[in-house]
Chain A
């Protein structure tokens, strides 16, 4: 058993960290204020291979393993979890097209997406179907040359910003087997967006509802087979959960790093606050939490890479463990910064806000526990 990163993996992490520190971190607050991420960042990211991280090389991607990708997201989220998570969503869509899309979809949609000339959004959740995603109601009706789609998707990252939407829609009966995945391109007739959501965190990502009103989708935009959309969506989520965990981990680590520096400088009662044993214990607990979270996440990613029968359960357990550890650590870091932690200038309150949603999306942590328990109780 070898727990060390390979030289290559270390190089991947170092490069992504440096890219984040130089190209993202200095602007993260401005982008949060503006509520958008400038397009030119994606061109730079794509030049480095971030546009199709685990898309096969033949399809124009980088061909990384899921474990390698968690290193990228951990490193990028040290700069800004909101930007890193946005990239994760794009990559989740790209991976679905790579695995299940036709050659036509791969050349028309996936290739420019890997180059990040275009950005992709993932549309699963609906106003009335979140944790119970298989209950989604957006209806796609067959026509002579494709589908007519009507319905609403909620909490869509990049809505009104992205160039194409990978949407799970109902082509058949109720239940998971009646769901298909289609690509709906920006500008399609009948595609519109709700108002910008005013959110606690992830504020640099524009989030809106996506509305389909008798929206025409060509048959060529069906991903894979009809009726398999829910399976594809769930497959994508194993990896998405790893990514989002990595985003919690990296951001929490950066909060801890900042806190260590702060505690060495900040003096109270005649000495640096790092000299107080009660606070040292809290630092130790945070370090233990993050190191164990990192190990568990990487093991889960390793299982997903090997298509281990228990991979889904481990990705779910990792998502619950790591996102909760990340938020707890970020909250503690804010506390240890005292009043300064509450000020935006110190960067800690943004991490607390950004990480909170990681316990909700990509499947709530309650659903993660349901998946875990089902695995335990399965005959």
Chain B
């Protein structure tokens, strides 16, 4: 079985995010970019399946700017076998929307015929949490989201999902799209020898036109703003005043 792992180049999780002066989005010029952390977990899951012998090939795919090639090299250095880069824009500030990404991924699935797609549950930049679900709908495949444990057994997979208030186990038919949550695994570091081997692994470059997909935006960002600054705390004079504020100002009791 082949596994496809979509990975996204996003602003590094350690970077302090700054909104652009005109409010059109987050400033990404000269900012450290990395692989979306949930996608790292997806890569790790796929690589472990390969190491266990359940999977023959792991293909990483990224859609975005040309620099996403670095993100794919990271995936290859972790242990993915080959990579596909779909250059869909030359502007680092253009985010390809989930539906366009899902359509492109469907086209890649049609061409590569993997038996499983493992992706991050969401990208930490726009937190859409939509691509995996859309992809499964377009493909007509089963979906299992927020996976914190995956067991594949022949023609079905058992997935433990993190849901509000606890865990849920579901059994889905293969092929499937599985989106992974934070606690599925701890991704490995790419070793120095594997970083050097990654350069020699194949990385195909494509465009949306190659797959006949239109990636023009359907959503309009109206405004991006910094979260409001937290007000300073106040000292209350009595328990009664505290209760009053909790009841009438904060509305928590």
Min C-beta distance of B22 to chain A, whole Å: 23
A53 within 8 Å of B (CB atoms): yes
Complex contacts, B192 vs chain A, CB 8 Å: 12, 15, 48-50, 53, 62, 64, 72
Interface string of B48-70 (1 = CB under 8 A from A): 00000000000000000000011
Say whether chain B's binding surface is mostly helix, strand, loop, or mixed.
Answer: helix
Interface residues in B189-207 (C-beta closer than 8 Å to A): 189-193, 195-196, 198-199
Please judge, given known A-B contacts A8-B195, A8-B196, A8-B199, whether A15 and B73 are in contact too, CB under 8 Å: no
Q: How far is the CB of B134 from chain A (nearest CB, A)?
A: 31
Q: How far is the CA of A47 from the CA of B194 in the complex (A)?
A: 11
A323-336 CB mask vs B (1 if < 8 Å, else 0) is 00000000000000
Residues A49 and B70 in contact, CB atoms below 8 Å apart: no
Say whether B70 contacts A10, CB under 8 Å. Answer: yes
B189 and A49 form a contact (CB under 8 A):
no
For the complex formed, measure the closest distance between the CB of A221 and the CB atoms of chain B, giving whole angstroms: 29
Number of residues from A at the complex interface, CB < 8 A: 19
- With both beta carbons as reference points, the residue of chain A lying nearest to B73 in the complex is identified as A7
Task: From A11, A47, A49, A57, give the contact of B73 (CB < 8 A).
Answer: A11
Instruction: Mark B1-45 against chain A: 1 for CB-CB distance below 8 A, else 0.
Output: 000000000000000000000000000000000100000000000
Whether B102 sits at the interface, judged by CB under 8 Å, is no
Least Cβ distance of B197 to chain A in Å? 10
**C-alpha spacing A14/B77, complex, angstroms:** 12
Chain A hits for B198, CB < 8 A: 8, 11
Residue B122, interface by CB 8 Å: no
What is the minimal beta-carbon distance from A197 to any residue of chain B, in angstroms?
Answer: 32
Rounded to whole angstroms, the CA-CA distance of A12 and B189 in the bound complex is: 10
Q: Does A19 contact B (CB under 8 A)?
A: yes
Whole-angstrom CA separation of A8 from B70 in the bound complex: 9
Residue from A11, A19, A50 in contact with B195 in the complex, judged by beta carbons closer than 8 Å:
A11
Determine if B74 is an interface residue (Cβ-Cβ < 8 Å). yes
A261–chain B nearest beta-carbon distance, Å: 9
- For chain B residues 176-194, which have a beta carbon within 8 Å of chain A? 189-193
Beta-carbon nearest neighbor of B196 in chain A = A8
Interface residues of A in 1-24 (CB under 8 A from B): 7-8, 10-12, 14-15, 18-19
Mark contacts of A130-143 with chain B using CB atoms, 8 A cut-off: 1 yes-contact digit, 0 otherwise.
00000000000000
User: Measured between C-beta atoms, what is the minimum distance from A313 to chain B in Å?
Assistant: 29
| Cα(A12)–Cα(B195), bound, Å | 7
Cα A49 to Cα B191 in complex, Å, equals 6
- A261 to B14 alpha-carbon distance, docked (Å): 13
Q: Mark A37-61, 1 if CB is under 8 A from B, else 0.
A: 0000000000111100100010000
Q: Give A23's nearest chain B residue, CB to CB.
A: B189
Asked whether, in the complex, the Cβ of B190 is within 8 Å of the Cβ of A11, the reply is: yes
Q: Which residues of chain A are within 8 angstroms of B73 by Cβ–Cβ distance?
A: 7-8, 11
Q: Note all chain A residues with C-beta closer than 8 A to B34.
A: 14
Set of chain B residues within 8 Å of A14, measured between Cβ atoms: 34
**Taking A7-B73, A10-B70 as contacts, is the C-beta distance between A15 and B196 under 8 angstroms?**
no
- Taking the closest CB of chain B, its distance from the CB of A266, in whole angstroms, is 17
Q: Which residues of B contact A57 (CB under 8 A)?
A: 193
Q: Which residues of A contact B74 (CB under 8 A)?
A: 11
Q: CA A60 – CA B197 in complex, angstroms?
A: 15
Nearest A residue to B77, CB-CB: A11
Give bound CA distance, A64 to B191, whole Å: 12
6 residue pairs A–B, Cβ–Cβ below 8 Å: A7-B69, A7-B199, A11-B73, A15-B189, A48-B192, A57-B193
Q: Which 9 A-B pairs have the closest CB atoms?
A: A49-B192, A48-B191, A62-B192, A11-B195, A49-B191, A49-B193, A15-B189, A19-B189, A15-B190
Sample of 9 further A-B pairs with CB below 8 A, known A12-B195, A14-B34, A15-B190: A8-B73, A8-B195, A11-B190, A15-B189, A18-B189, A19-B189, A48-B189, A62-B193, A64-B192
Binding site for B on A (CB under 8 A): 7-8, 10-12, 14-15, 18-19, 47-50, 53, 57, 62-64, 72
